[in-house]
Structure 1
Amino acid sequence: MRTKQILCPTDFSETASHAISYAIEMANFYNVGICLLHVVDKPFGDKYTRVLAETPDELIERMEKEAAEKMKQFIATLDETLSFDTAICHGHPVEQILSTAEKVDAGMIVMASHGRKGLDHFLNSNTTEEVACKAHCPVLVVK
């Protein structure tokens, strides 16, 4: 962990920004870089509603461009002394986070938990919980 970069998945939410502040603090302490990752989940609306006026590939491309712009704006607000790598990919978030952690040989994953409870937790898959269980490196979960 002490010589490997930190992987920090983000969905650009306030909670994810909070997790990134922890990643920055740890990166400064260990003098390592950070890889910010955003996963564009596969679009599913067109399959069920037939309302979209664009193909799924066009939708994914548009979503990736929007994510790249958000990532660019977000990085502009961060500490300039740190080394940031960025990655935007599409697919199932858990699979992509774990795959990216292996690719970049992450020493740690720092990610947010949205803190769902009760029925909301039961009905929505918990990406953070699944990553923490399956990752081959330490995972810091930030609320």
Structure 2
Amino acid sequence: MELKKILCAVDLMDTVNPAVEYAKMLADMSGASVSVIYVISSRSTYENLQVPVEEIAKGMRRIWSRSREDMDAFVAAYFPGVDATGFIYEGKPAEKIVEIAREQDVDMIVMGTHAREGLDRLFFGSVANEVVKSSKCPVMTIRPEKKSE
């Protein structure tokens, strides 16, 4: 298998992104380009909180604006010397990651897990698990050395 395109899914709101080092290593070894993506949970997630629509829209604009800045800084800091581009999407994270991987015709998805266990995993589910089950290309999941907070 030849790696030409890698999709690295990250969480800009998390201080632990274990997939980054692996995506960089794979890109360095293969010469592949890297699409670094962050998926903002869709507006529908917030609509159930009984918050006025205007407030949701205002908050989403703030999130989008801040996320673009954060993504640019993230790619510059963590992917120097790598052909890497940052993208931000809105939607259900697992579905959007698989959709973008298909649209960009990537050869591999590299993403971290939150290392949740027990009831925490049961109630919050696993984006990584859903991506592994749904993706048509290989998915490398990286468990963090320390748990996300």
Secondary structure class of the residue paired with 2:73:
helix
Corresponding residue number in structure 2 for 1:70: 70
Deviations 1:83-115 (A, max 9, x none): 112211101001110111011111000000001
Cα gap change, 1:59/1:25 in structure 2, threshold over 3 Å: closer, same or farther?
Answer: same
Deviations 1:42-67 (A, max 9, x none): 243454243x5834333322211111
Give me the TM-score of the superposition, normalised by structure 1.
Answer: 0.89
Give yes or no for contact 1:34–1:84 (8 Å, CA) kept in 2.
yes
Corresponding residue number in structure 2 for 1:48: 49
Shift of 1:31: 0.6
* Cα RMSD (Å): 1.8
Q: Which amino acid in structure 2 is aligned with residue 32 of structure 1?
A: A
CA distance in 1, matches of 2:96, 2:46: 21
Give yes or no for contact 2:20–2:78 (8 Å, CA) kept in 1.
no
Q: Which portions of structure 1, spanning 4 or more consecutive aligned residues, are displaced by more than 6 angstroms?
A: none
Give me the TM-score of the superposition, normalised by structure 2.
Answer: 0.86
User: Unpaired segments of 5 or more residues in structure 2?
Assistant: 144-149
Corresponding residue number in structure 1 for 2:91: 91
Q: Which amino acid in structure 2 is aligned with residue 14 of structure 1?
A: T
Whether 1:14 aligns to 2:15 is yes
Q: Percent identity of the aligned residues?
A: 27
User: Unpaired segments of 5 or more residues in structure 1?
Assistant: none
- Aligned residue pairs, count: 141
CA distance in 2, matches of 1:49, 1:57: 13
